[in-house]
Each structure stands twice: as C-alpha cells, then as structure tokens.
Amino acid sequence: MKTNKMNINNPKINKCTRELPINLPNKWSCLKNKGPGPFVTKALLKNPESKIVLWISRYQRKHHFRLDISRGSTWWAPGAFGWWIGILFSIGAVCFAIGAVPGYLHIIGSSYDSLMFFIGSLFFTTAAFLQYLETINTPHSPLDANITEKFHLFSLEPKRIDWLSSVVQFGGTLLFNISTFEALRSYLLVSQINRLVWVPDVYGSICFLVASSLVWMEVGNAIWSWNPHNIPWWIGILNLVGSIFFGISAVGAFVLPSTGLPVNLFLVNMGTFAGGVCFLIGAVLLLPERTHEKYN
C-alpha cells in the first residue's frame, strides 16, 4: 500500500482528512466523516472541481471491480471476484446446514456427516481468503480519482474496519478447518474431542462473532443501525445472527466426561443449522449487492 505521508503528518490537513482510512489525491478535501468508534466508514469529500463525492468503505470495496475479468450479471459472473465469494460462502453454508439435520446423520452415518462439515469449512476458508484479497486490493483513494494500484497479497491496515473483519473471519475459518478435520478421526477420547474439536470450534465461533460484529458496524456506519431497505444491512445482520447461532452450537457441543455426550445435542444441531441458513441467505445477497445495490 502506498501511504500518503503528507496527509498523515501535515498539520494543515484537517482532522476529517487525517482520520480517513484512504488517501486523498491533491486538491481533494474531506468535509465530514462518520463511523463506529475509532473507524471511519463514510465520508463526504470534495474533488478539485468542487463536486461533492460520497465515499462509503463497503461500497468502495464491493464496486471497484478491479479484480473482475468480466463484471457479468447478478446471478452469473464467473469472471467476477465478488461473485465467487458469494457462491463459495453459499456452498459452505449449505454443507453446514444439511450436516446439522438429524435425519441426514442417520441416513449417511457419522463419518460422512463429519466429512460434510469439513468440506463446508474448506469452502468457507476459500471464500474468506478471496474476501481478504478483495479487501486489501480495494483502491486506497476515491474511485472517482481513477488511480491505479498494484495487486497485493498482503497488507497490514488495522485502522480499517473491513481489514480487521476479513482477517478475523479468515482466522475463524482456519480454526473450523482444524475442528472439522479432527472430528473425522474415529475413537477419540473425550478429553481429545474437547481439546482437538471443541476448543478450535469455540475460538472459531468467537472469531466469526467478532468479524460479523465489525461488518455489522461497517454497513451501518455506527454501533447500532436500522436500515432494512439496504441489502448490505441485511447481509450484516444475517451474518451476525448466524455467528450467534454458531456460538450457541459451540457451547452445546462440549462433551461431558461422565456421559461421553455433548452438553446439549439439540443446541448443537439447531445452532449449526440456523447459523448455516443465515450465512446462506447472507451469501446469496452478496450477488445482487455487487451489481444492483445503491448505498445510503
């Protein structure tokens, strides 16, 4: 990332500009900004022609199309980076939702059911990594400035709320990879199940909850918001609710040494299924957001 040191260190630059997580080109200025806590997610900018430009962090990330070979349509765009993120998250969510259906477990057996969760976690991880790449390759200047930047595989930008959420979520998917992979092993002792399966599951659920909370705050530009006419708002609330359900599932999954069974099998299945459904709907909504959504 190229850092505009003048914008950061020059005392003549106003506070609004210094707080922005993007760099303003020469003769651009920041009039007003807002966001949750220390993060700026929305700002009114003025370009050299004195035109007022609205900058929104999520819109900038989802609509710059730098990583798209072809923008395509809403429902079919295999050349578009954002389309793959939605599709891969959707497949992973379907795997978790189906795997949590009790009747499905009885039909295919525990081994294949565990495999379904592991496959779902791999789709989650792939989608989360693409989301991370999408985030760090979002232009670091307003889209209207038309400034070309190099492609990045890594960046360190903890002042950006979207960077934090994508990193934390990717870490959570890796923990789910570990948890679901260890669950494939047969004849584990109860202590091994809790240590190798339950512990990474709990930490993965915490990561998802933190990441989805950051997304929720980003789409609302505040700690709390109500904007049901906005697709990103629905994506944020669905991911947050889905993460809560995954957390409920993780709590119920602790295996009691006295019985060798989870604390509450109903919570395990209900939480995983409901969370998977929420993530599925949120992932599908990523597709129309990419092409149709007007932010406000």
Structure tokens at 140: 């670091």
Contact in structure between 230 and 293 (CB atoms under 8 Å): yes
Reply yes or no on whether the pLDDT at 106 is more than 90: no
The mean pLDDT value for 24-34 works out to 93
Structure tokens at 165: 């959420």
Domain locations in the chain as residue ranges? 5-57, 81-291
Reply yes or no on whether the pLDDT at 263 is more than 70: yes
C-alpha–C-alpha distance, residues 126 and 124, integer Å: 6
| pLDDT for position 103 | 87
Contact in structure between 254 and 194 (CB atoms under 8 Å): yes
Residues 6 or more apart whose Cβ sits within 8 Å of residue 143: 60, 63, 64
Q: pLDDT class for 296, splitting at 50, 70, 90?
A: low
Name the H helices within 183-256. Answer: 190-192, 199-220, 231-252
Nearest to 255 by CA among 182, 190, 179: 190
Reply yes or no on whether the pLDDT at 175 is more than 50: yes
| pLDDT for position 292 | 82
Structure tokens at 71: 């923008």
- What global pTM score does this model have? 0.91
